[in-house]
Chain A
Amino acid sequence: MSRNADESRAERIRAILETEGPAVSANASLLNEKRYDAIDSFPAYDELRSEARGIKEDAIAQLPELIDRVTEAVEDNGGTVYLAADAADANAYVESVAADRGVDSVVKSKSMTTEEIEVNDHLESREIDVWETDLGEFVLQVADEAPSHLVGPAMHKSRAEIAALFNGHFEPEEPLETAEELTRFARDYLGERIREADMGMTGANFVLAESGTIVLVTNEGNARKSAVTPDTHVAVAGVEKLLPSVAELEPFVQLIARAATGQPIAQYVSMLSPPTESPTLDFESDELGGGDREFHLVLLDNGRFDLREDDELRETLYCIRCGACANSCANFQSVGGHAFGGETYTGGIATGWEAGVHGAESVAEFNDLCTGCTRCVNACPVEIDIPWINTVVRDRLNRGQDPDRFDHLVDGLLPDEEAPGFTLQKRLFGNFESLARVGSATAPVSNRLASSRPVRAVLERAVGIDRRRELPTFARRTLIDWFDARGGSRVAPADATREAVVYPDTYTNYLSPERGKATVRALESLGVAVRVPPVGESGRAPLSQGMVDTARARASDVYGSLAEHVDAGRDVVVIEPSDHAMIHREYERLLPAASARRLRESSYDVMEYVYGLLENGADADALRAGDGEAVAYHGHCQGRTLGTDAYAVAVLERLGYDVRTSDVECCGMAGSFGYKRAYYELSVDVGEPLADSFADAETVLASGTSCGEQLEALLERPARHPIEHVGPQ
């Protein structure tokens, strides 16, 4: 990204932080909390997620057959099915239905798929009135804005903003002020539109092929009214909404409202197999049921069949559009979908949808906002690996870019596996290990140089590293050198309870060897014979920049370096949570399954390992006792997804510390993200709630390097890894 592009992106984010940020933050965080509460009290959640995932996998696999079945069922019911190739095709069909019935006005319930095809604009261009009856969508229609969230489309607007909008637009006799007044006004206004309408349009949360049933999940009741009041009902649904039959629906009914809003079930789950027998409603007539019902199901392809063929992005089609990935995302909570979203879709999964239906260029503007923190992974009710989708699309976007003019300058320094086209910024961060090696070897000169104003100016201009962010300092002596110089392990294998390899991740080895030393001393004091062999970077750095080939090569090297240790029965102990998560999650994508499994089963987060040693009889007195000392601990986002953050808490508590934990999803630093000129302010905005919650804490602990950097920058005092705090001095 050029300097100008960095600046303009930073400006755009700054503007959204100021205008839409407060409302989005309040609403998305609230939904996120409600989801946690709902899931905490619903033990079957994870089992149902797997079941739902399996049903979706099967349904997408047999999609052509399901389309045949639903066509037959809907036609048997007396309706029509139209398979639309793209948006223009779908719009032309809807227009033709409207023309055949002499439709002047249409009422709609909330539907992202009709947002995707922009059917409102199309019908309005044909002089047909279109009314959104979902109140959030209605607000946006009046404001002429796009949805900022899959479920709460107007969540970026406060009540006061909506009141000002309505008062300006409708000029009511008494100005509207409260949520109650605004709701009543919109309901009455839209009630008239519904009674007058000639056609009702809905989307579908699910379509049951066997019976030709449209399933609509809503809270307001507007979808029911839109579907059954006008004689003509047109439902527009992506082909991926098909399920075989009502027998497959139950897990989705259990999951969707919990994931979306934390409700056990939505107010209305309508299962309609139209045209229904429900009497038609002509408010100008003096009897119910005088008309004939007509129903059209428009099934939309618009790129979905290509997604189905795409091994990396196929799982996008399993999405049930609950918005949980957005609500659980720290960046989304700060800026919402108008920054973290494309033409139609918003939040983490938007990358898959936008790439599939609008093309990769619609993703370029917001794809970087996924930092790979993985907080959405456990939130997704159909187990979609959303960070992986973002990584894959980032990789594809990188390849599509023009070769950077700086490439020749850095080719020697940055030994990645990528074809030309990656930006200098991405290559620099992706090859951070090489930089760290040089920086450490030349420290402290490298540190003085890197912090000098002219160098920071160049770094900002050429690489997009924000000059307000303090750069990490390189250690003159690496962890590996320290370990070799002290003569290796102080516990001989013959005297040891276990043997372990401490993985010298890039940050620990070159920047923060102290936490590596603390790990070595702690493990030795607990009776473990330790090795610190030279093992390369895990691949996390290139992967986060969307450099998948380089990440795969790094993973392969790490496996090569560690396999023999694993075979010798040595445990692999990892200090940096992002590298531990790399081995436990992403290596499945990068290495042969058996290799990934072998490494995963032998590797531990350092605090998890200490916990295991203590559980197996190691003497806790060897570690520094807490004696009631209060500590504030922020677990790394990726560690929290894997559940390993709990071990740090357990060890600290066992040692007698009084532990307070953070409840934010991510610190906002997210590796390189917080250094980037375009995202510095967003990163600080995300970090502030964490810093605020720890403002009065004397001792702050954080397991991730970048979490620690963020906390130190915002709190202006040290934030160490827990192992440094409890390890013997």
Chain B
Amino acid sequence: MGSQTRQRLTEALESLAVTTSSATAADLPDHVARVIDEPAVGAPLPFAPGALEATAVDTDPTPDSLASARTGVTPARFAIAEYGTLAIPSTSAGEEPVSLYPPKHVAVVAESDVYDDLGGAFDRLAGEFADGTDSVVFATGVSATADMGELVEGVHGPREVHVVVVTDR
């Protein structure tokens, strides 16, 4: 990812009221500890094995801990700078419920997985689908509704999202 793409992602996320920060893989445990509200649950980060395990994040949550957690930490398989979109996996590691139930979602994405636009992301998606990885959620901003007469953020999904870009992955 070039610095322009990185800048584009940050700006798109800012416009969605999503905060961002960056860290190296080595710094991730300390960094994650700073951006979460506890109690936190999580799904392992494939590009930084062991990083979450070195924090207070519970990577083997129970339904109870999921329901009471204030933060869910998951990897994003990739991100789309144009829209500030995060591709959240839906695997047996539990990214889907962890990113969905707690009021705050911290998504961690490798810098090399940030695409400039939707076209690049769909090229990747086509490859993943062909390989059988065919469940993913494009999440953009916080959950919202206008059904009660005006825009309200934080409905069935999180009301706060923070993105950590891992600069050396």
Binding site for B on A (CB under 8 A): 27, 133-136, 139, 152, 154, 157-160, 162, 179-180, 182-183, 186-187, 190-191, 194-195, 210-213, 219-222, 224-225, 228-229, 245-247, 249-250, 253-254, 264-274, 276-279, 281-289
Q: Determine if B39 is an interface residue (Cβ-Cβ < 8 Å).
A: no
B66 touches A183 (CB 8 A): no
Is residue B62 contacting chain A, with contact meaning CB distance below 8 A? yes
Say whether B149 contacts A224, CB under 8 Å. no
Known: A135-B155, A187-B155, A268-B137. A276 touches B97 (CB 8 A): no
- Find chain A residues with CB under 8 A from B122 CB: 246-247, 249-250
Q: Are B148 and A219 in contact (CB under 8 A)?
A: no
Given A279-B94, A281-B63: 20 more A-B contacts, CB < 8 Å: A159-B148, A160-B149, A179-B148, A213-B135, A219-B143, A220-B144, A220-B147, A220-B155, A221-B156, A224-B96, A224-B100, A228-B100, A245-B126, A264-B83, A268-B140, A270-B137, A273-B134, A281-B66, A286-B64, A288-B62
| CA gap between A272 and B119 in the complex, in Å | 20
Instruction: Knowing A213-B134, A279-B92 are in contact, say whether A268-B157 is a contact too (CB < 8 A).
Output: yes
Whether A268 contacts B148 by the Cβ 8 Å rule is no
A221 / chain B contacts, CB cutoff of 8 Å: 100, 143, 155-158
Shortest beta-carbon distance from A209 to chain B in Å: 12
A4 to chain B, nearest CB (A): 38
Which of B129, B142, B148 interacts with A182 by CB under 8 Å? B148
Q: Does B71 contact A (CB under 8 A)?
A: no
In the complex where A220-B157, A224-B157, A278-B91 touch, is A288 in contact with B97 (Cβ < 8 A)? yes
Known A154-B147, A219-B144, A269-B138: A278·B96 in contact at CB below 8 Å: yes
Is the CB–CB distance between B135 and A273 below 8 Å? yes
Q: Which residue of A lies closest to B95 (CB)?
A: A278
What is the minimal beta-carbon distance from A620 to any residue of chain B, in angstroms?
45
User: In chain A, what residue has the closest Cβ to B138?
Assistant: A269
Sample 18 A-B pairs with CB under 8 A, ordered by A number: A135-B147, A160-B149, A162-B149, A179-B150, A212-B134, A221-B143, A249-B122, A250-B119, A272-B137, A278-B92, A279-B94, A281-B63, A282-B63, A283-B67, A285-B63, A287-B62, A288-B66, A289-B94
Write out, one digit per residue, whether chain B residues 154-169 have a CB within 8 A of any chain A CB (1) or not (0): 1111100000000000
Q: Residues of B contacting A281 with CB < 8 Å?
A: 63, 66, 97
Contact for B156 among A133, A266, A277, CB less than 8 A: A133
**5 nearest A-B residue pairs (beta carbon):** A159-B149, A221-B157, A221-B156, A135-B147, A136-B147
State whether A272 and B90 are in contact (beta carbons under 8 Å apart), knowing that A152-B146, A267-B143 are contacts in the complex: yes
B96 with A250: CB separation less than 8 A = no
Residues of B contacting A284 with CB < 8 Å?
A: 63
Which of B82, B125, B150, B157 meets A159, CB within 8 Å?
A: B150
B9 to A: closest C-beta gap in Å: 14
Which residue of B has the minimal Cβ distance to A161? B149
**B residues contacting the other copy or chain, number (CB 8 A):** 47
Does the CB pair B62–A286 fall under 8 Å? yes
Of all chain A residues, the one with the shortest Cβ separation from B97 is A281
Question: Hey, which chain B residues are within 8 Å of A133, CB to CB?
Answer: 156
Q: Look across to chain B and name the residue whose beta carbon is closest to the beta carbon of A140.
A: B147
> Using Cβ atoms and an 8 Å threshold, which residues of chain A touch B61?
288
B161 CB, min distance to chain A CBs, angstroms: 10
Please, how many angstroms separate the alpha-carbon atoms of A282 and B64 in the complex? 9
Q: Which of A224, A272, A289 contacts B92 (CB 8 A)?
A: A289
Inter-chain contact A265/B83, CB cutoff 8 Å: yes
Given A183-B152, A279-B97, residue A246 in contact with residue B126 (CB < 8 A): yes
State A653–B85 Cα separation when bound (angstroms): 44
A48 to chain B, nearest CB (A): 11
Verify if B139 is at the interface (C-beta below 8 Å from A).
yes
Instruction: Using A224-B96, A264-B83 as known contacts, say yes or no to A278 and B90 having CB atoms under 8 A apart.
Output: yes
Say whether A220 contacts B156, CB under 8 Å. yes
Q: How far is the CA of A268 from the CA of B145 in the complex (A)?
A: 12
Tell me the nearest residue of chain B to A228, going by C-beta.
Answer: B96
